[in-house]
Amino acid sequence: MLKRTLTALGMSMAMSLAGLSAATAQTPAAAPQQEEPERYGPFFFLPSQPNLLIYVGAVGANDMLNLKKALREHPTISTLILQNNGGGLVHIGLVVAEEVYERGLNTYIPKDSYCASACSFVFFAGRQRLAEGRLGVHQISAPEMTGEQAQFGVSDIVATLPKYGVSADVLGIMFSTPSKEMYFFTPQEIIKYGINRTGNVQTASNAPQQGAPRSAPAPAPQPQPQPQPAAAPSQAQAPADEQRLPPRKPAESSPVPAQVPNPYMPKETAPAAISDEQKAINAAALMIQAGSGTNEEAMNFTREFYADTVDYFKKQRPKSEILADKQAYFARWPVRRFVVDQNSLKAKCKDQMCMVVGLYDYKVSSPERGKTATGTSNFTYILDLRNRYRIVMEDSEVISR
C-alpha cells in the first residue's frame, strides 16, 4: 500500500511541478506502479522520479543524517516534497532548512497535504517553492530545548527566514500565533505575502477558493466553512506533530504551462541579502508579540531578549530587575494580546547597533480581578545585533486607551 501511494504521489508531484511536454505527460502510464521506494528514515526516493525526494510524517532527531545520506546516494535530487508533515523538533527543522537552502533544493507541498510548524522552515528554505496544499505556522514550542536554546532557535528564525525571502508580515503572523494553535495561510495570502516563489510557474490553485477555510481544528472531521478576514491570525487548535490533519478540498486547476523547463521548477538568482535594518525590525516585532504567549512562554523568551545591563525607561538597570518587572506585569495581566503595526516599524543601524521604533495595539486582562485594558503604545528599542539581537535600550509610552 505504501509503495503504491508513494509511486502515485511521485507521479502527481512531477506533473504538478514540471512544465510537461506531451512525452512527459505519458510517463505515468509507462512507469511501474509497484515500484519499490528507497527509504531514508522519513525520506522516500523513487528511482523513476530521480529529481524528487519525499519527506513524510514529522521532523525527527535523525532527519539531517537521513537527508544527507539520500542526497549523497542520489545527487540528481532537486526537489523536496513535503507530504503530511506536522512539524516536530524545532532545531532539526532549522538545520534541515539550512541544508535545503545551501544546496539550492526546491520545495513543494502537494494538494490534499500539509506542512506545518517546524516543517514550514524547510518549505521556506526552498530555492523555488510551491504550496498547493496547506502551510501552517505558529510560535515555536520546543520542550526539548532550554529557554536559552529556544531563543537560539528564535534568533535563527529572525536571521535566516528573511534570507529565504520570507516577509516580515509572515514572521509577524508566525510569532503572534500561540504555540497551541496553528495559522494556515489562505490561497489569497499565499499570493499577498509572496510565499510561493516559482518563477514562470503559475497554478490555478493560487486563485481564491470559494468558501476555503483559513484553518481547521485538528483532529476535526470537517474544516470550518466560514472564511475569516485575512488580517488577523486564525484561532484553530494546533495538531500534534505526528497527527494527520483533515485534507483541504482541492482546487480546480489547469496544467502547468509547458514552456517551463526541467528540473521540475526553474532556478533563479538567490534573494538579496537582508539588511541590518530589516533584521532589527523583524526581531523587534517578535519581541513585542512574544508577550502574547502564556506566562511561562513569555518569560522563556524574555529571559533571552535583554543584555546584562539595559537603559530601561531612562534608567540603567541590571537584567535581573528587568526580568522581575516583566514577570510582575505578566502575573498582573495573565491574558495578553499584542499586535504590532507592521507599517509603523522603522529602523536605523550603525555598526550593527540598531534603533527600532513602532506602534502596537494591546489588549490585556485579568479574569481573576475582572479587569481589562486596551490601547495603543509606541516603543523604542536599541538592539545589539552583535550580541544575539539583545535589547540594550527600551522605552515606550501609551498613546491611546
- What is the reported pLDDT for 342? 77
Tally: H helices and E strands in the chain: 12, 17
- What is the reported pLDDT for 132? 95
Q: Classify burial at 106, counting beta carbons within 10 Å of its beta carbon; exposed 0-12, middle 13-18, buried 19 or more.
A: buried
What sign for the dihedral angle of Cα 264, 265, 266, 272? negative
- What is the reported pLDDT for 253? 34
- Domains of the chain, with CATH numbers? 2-237 (3.90.226.10), 276-400 (3.10.450.50)
Cα 385 versus chain centre, distance: 22
- What is the reported pLDDT for 172? 73
| Polymer length of the chain | 401
Beta carbons of 306 and 327 less than 8 angstroms apart: no
- What is the reported pLDDT for 30? 40
- What is the reported pLDDT for 389? 82
Close Cβ partners of 248 (under 8 Å, ≥ 6 residues apart): 111, 112, 114, 133, 134, 212, 223
Q: Which of 17, 83, 82, 74 is nearest to 46 (CA)?
A: 74
- What is the reported pLDDT for 279? 79
Q: Which pTM was predicted? A: 0.55
Q: Beta 134-137 vs 114-116: how paired, if at all?
A: parallel
SS percent in the chain: helix, strand, coil, step 5: 35, 25, 40
Average confidence (pLDDT) per 10 residues, the chain, 401 residues: 49 43 32 74 94 94 94 96 92 92 96 94 96 90 50 63 81 76 92 84 31 34 33 34 37 32 38 71 80 78 87 96 95 90 90 94 94 96 88 95 92
C-alpha 168/C-alpha 161 separation (Å) is 9
- What is the reported pLDDT for 327? 94
- What is the reported pLDDT for 28? 36
- What is the reported pLDDT for 153? 55
